[in-house]
Structure 1
Amino acid sequence: MKTILALLIISILGILSCNVVKAEDPYKYYTWTVTYGTASPLGVPQQIILINGQFPGPRLDVVTNDNIILNLINKLDQPFLLTWNGIKQRKNSWQDGVLGTNCPIPPNSNFTYKFQPKDQIGGYTYFPSTGMHKAAGGFGAINVYARPRIPVPYAIPAGDFNLLIGDWYKSNHKGLQAYLDSGRSLTFPDGILVNGQTGTTFSGDQGKTYMFRISNMGLSTSFNFRIQGHKMKLVEVEGSNVVQNIYDSLDVHVGQSISVLVTFDQAPKDYYIVASTRFTRKILTTVSVLHYTNSQTRVSGPIPAGPTYQVHWSMQQARTYRVKI
């Protein structure tokens, strides 16, 4: 009887052990090749840095806790590193892609990054972290989406747009590096780009709400962001959900990423999307277009004005950001 009972217990334990399976988080594999190319974002041909032939680089769309395995091949004539701005790299700092935690990838060599956006949701970016490579491109967006069963504190938008906005120089990145190495300060930028262009169009349906993920990819200059005739509901700052205040315009500082919800609730026509420099004596402005899909009217009227040098105004706005508990 004891033998039968022992066999029964062993059988039950065996069945239970078969049902206990540790589900591993999904793996996503990428191969990126970094090369030089030529483009004229400000009307002057210049050398830029491409990733898989793209400027800006590919958008990295992942889900919380995905394991990212990314093989980066450096075809430049200089060592190169990418950093994953905002990804926490818990117990994984040697994948952060900055000097002190990583050695730069030599020319004609590769390095495989292995990291996980552990328990993170939101809009982030990646960019070169050595030399002045960021002045030539090599940057892009990272969107970390929630798992289906993880709620977010807002209705799922009809779509989302990444706006990589930043100051830009006509000078070659090697020339800028030599200029700084000579002991001089960085000069004033020549313009502002939105997704590698002086302006672009973002289209949506009337009555629907869209997520705008706005990142400052510049070298030195903050900018103010606004959309003609539309309010912006701030829902995320640096990957953290925040109290959802409404703004007419928002300051975005170098390296910062924010996300806003914009409802296409105005008359069906085209509207200005504006980014202009902050805290500078000379104001640089770039204009894109918010386009209603049923619009028959092109954008018109004066470009909406924004703050310029008011430092206190910017500080007061930043104090309104509160993490949503």
Structure 2
Amino acid sequence: MALLYYSLFGFFHFALLSSLCFAADPTISYEFKLSYITVSPLGTPQQVIAVNGNFPGPVINATTNYNVIINVRNQLDEDLLMTWPGIQMRRNSWQDGLRGTNCPIPPKRNFTYNFQVKDQIGSFFYYPSLNLQRASGGFGPFIVNNRPIISIPFPQPDGDIVVLIGDWYIQNHTALRTALDSGKELGMPDGVLINGKGPYKYNSSVPDGIDYETIKVDPGKTYRFRVHNVGTSTSLNFRIQGHNLLLVETEGYYTSQQNYTSFDVHVGQSCSFLVTMDQNATSDYYIVASARFVNETVWQRVTGVAILHYSNSKGPVSGPLPEPPSDVYNQWSAMNQPRSIRQNSSASGARPNPQGSFHYGSINVTDTYVLRSLPPTTIDGKQRATLNGISFLKPDLPFRLADLHKVKGTYKLDFPSEPLNRTPKIDRSLINATYKGFIELILQNNDTKMQSFHVDGYSFFVVGMDWGTWTENDRGSYNKWDAISRSTVEVYPGGWTAVYLSLDNVGVWNLRVENLDRWYLGQETYMRIINPEENGETEMGPPDNVLYCGQLASLSKDTGSSAISIRTAYNLFVTLLMTLSVAVFIIS
């Protein structure tokens, strides 16, 4: 019997490890079940998207070089994809979770994502990427910690606090889609949520009985606040009454440390602050996230309020909220804050060499793309948003899957490198980017709203930002020494932002506006980056569990709820071992 036990142990151990192909780096695994639940964050019952029954979803907590396995079960009534923006999946756009990289997960089916957070640290968040679903939830934080041998550039905080802020509509994402499809704007949100909860009743405008967030702290301690704007379309100003915010990181890169009394966090952005509990505890303190770059008098209800509670607090907070910045009508002053963010050139990132030592300013630019966004317009009878006059048509088949199976006519490689004075059109046009190129992206916002732009699979250097229309003469104002590197950057209405991007990550990567309404209406494209000498080492092939759709739907395999997941397989393995152990003990 003992021989049988050890034989079975060896067999299952070998089978499990062989089937999962674990690398030498540690592996963490998660089960995510996305479903609808009913909550009332603003006092009105509404349907939201929960992860494992929770809204918001759980933290993914990884460390540099970890392998991450996430089995996603779709319990919604529509297709689903999960995306992990800011996570730079090296050579592996197959796991990116967007319509141009993955076929969607059908209802009642599952898909297991498997990727490595290689050479990364920092604060990010995940969310569903299809059809405005993020406006109903499904989001949660994604933390990548430093390896123990790489020190962080500040004393170890006494605690780590995640704060998810975002504008919120009582209507769910399907109703918001219907509004956009009918040519309407989404209009003013109904409020702002902090960690999925509504505002503390700071005045009579807030209904009674709303559940609000309370963050508990100890006096004298310093905490790392990881703040993410997971909202639909509104820039938010974040502040904590009576406390300074020491900015230390934005989307995976350590910053030159600066104190702010409040900080603008735009849609899709993530940042870390060190906050020291150095105030007296005569009462609690307000934590506020309020609408920014709008008519703040009219948008007063678009304010989230949580409570900072010292363990020795003498009583509840009272009185008016801390004032928002007063520069809303002074556009030059408003832009000073993002311009002040600098890379910490003495800090290490994921690797032991200083992350600021990359001399990007001395590299020759190989291509320039000027991407202009305009207010939505009517194209073929539909309200659409554009980049360079093209409103992106969502694909039926992921692009690299089409390449692999030689399916022709699924996309074009003719995205214009500059705005063209031609009639806007709906098309599926990609940027034919050059592998190992070093490109300049000019994001020109001629829309009326603040926008955030994001590039999947990459970080970029934010070298310039100004008002007006970009010209070549503006290159003289670029920061070519210590510009911050990040993956999501704001572009002011009537202004431009310039970034440098090194195209060293092969695959097909999405370039989009993070404002969900404009994204849904077509304001995106993809960069197709292929190594012409591909030998199987610079780009991973499709995973064994790849989903098929569109012209390749006949190749689909069963990925239903009966399909066994990584964690389920592991649990069955452990259960079997325990059963065999008991049996051996009894017989012995």
One fold, TM greater than 0.5? yes
Identity of aligned pairs, percent? 53
CA distance in 1 between counterparts of 2:127 and 2:335 reads 26
Per-residue Cα deviation, 1:136-188 (whole angstroms, up to 9, x for no partner): 10000011111111111011100011110000001121111111111222221
The equivalent residue for 1:312 is 332
Deviation at 1:263, TM superposition (A): 0.3
The equivalent residue for 2:275 is 262
CA distance in 2 between counterparts of 1:312 and 1:44 reads 40
The equivalent residue for 2:218 is 205
The equivalent residue for 2:253 is 240
Per-residue Cα deviation, 1:14-66 (whole angstroms, up to 9, x for no partner): xxxxxxxxx81101111111111111111111111111101001111111111
Q: After the TM superposition, which residues 186-225 of structure 1 pair with which residues of structure 2 at under 5 Å, given as runs?
A: 186-198=186-198, 199-225=212-238
CA distance in 1 between counterparts of 2:306 and 2:115 reads 34
Match for residue 275 of structure 1 among 267, 289, 293: 289
Aligned residues: 304
The equivalent residue for 1:286 is 304
| Structure 1 residue matching 2:113: 3-state secondary structure | strand
CA distance in 2 between counterparts of 1:237 and 1:167 reads 20
Which amino acid in the other structure matches residue 256 of structure 1? Q
Deviation at 1:300, TM superposition (A): 2.1
Per-residue Cα deviation, 1:71-106 (whole angstroms, up to 9, x for no partner): 101011100111102101110111111110111111
CA distance in 1 between counterparts of 2:332 and 2:133 reads 33
8 Å Cα contact 1:251-1:314 kept in structure 2: no
The question of 1:296 aligning with 2:314 is answered: yes
Q: After the TM superposition, which residues 33-182 of structure 1 pair with which residues of structure 2 at under 5 Å, given as runs?
A: 33-182=33-182
CA distance in 2 between counterparts of 1:302 and 1:219 reads 27
Per-residue Cα deviation, 1:236-255 (whole angstroms, up to 9, x for no partner): 01111000011000000000
CA distance in 1 between counterparts of 2:325 and 2:115 reads 39
Per-residue Cα deviation, 1:186-236 (whole angstroms, up to 9, x for no partner): 221110000110131111111110000000011110000111111110000
Deviation at 1:312, TM superposition (A): 3.2
Structure with the larger strand share: 1
Identify which range, 217-226 or 311-320, moves more after superposition.
311-320
CA distance in 1 between counterparts of 2:265 and 2:184 reads 26
The question of 1:228 aligning with 2:241 is answered: yes
* Gap change, CA 1:314 and 1:105, over 3 Å in 2: farther
CA distance in 1 between counterparts of 2:103 and 2:25 reads 28
Deviation at 1:297, TM superposition (A): 2.3
CA distance in 1 between counterparts of 2:259 and 2:122 reads 19
| Structure 1 residue matching 2:340: 3-state secondary structure | coil
Which amino acid in the other structure matches residue 317 of structure 1? Q
The equivalent residue for 2:569 is none
CA distance in 1 between counterparts of 2:233 and 2:62 reads 29
Deviation at 1:286, TM superposition (A): 1.7
CA distance in 2 between counterparts of 1:42 and 1:313 reads 33
CA distance in 2 between counterparts of 1:51 and 1:287 reads 24
| Structure 1 residue matching 2:188: 3-state secondary structure | coil
CA distance in 1 between counterparts of 2:48 and 2:115 reads 27
Deviation at 1:301, TM superposition (A): 2.6
Normalising by structure 2, report the TM-score.
Answer: 0.51
Identify which range, 190-199 or 304-313, moves more after superposition.
304-313
Which amino acid in the other structure matches residue 250 of structure 1? F
Structure 2, unaligned runs of 5 or more: 1-22, 199-211, 346-588
Identify which range, 310-319 or 64-73, moves more after superposition.
310-319
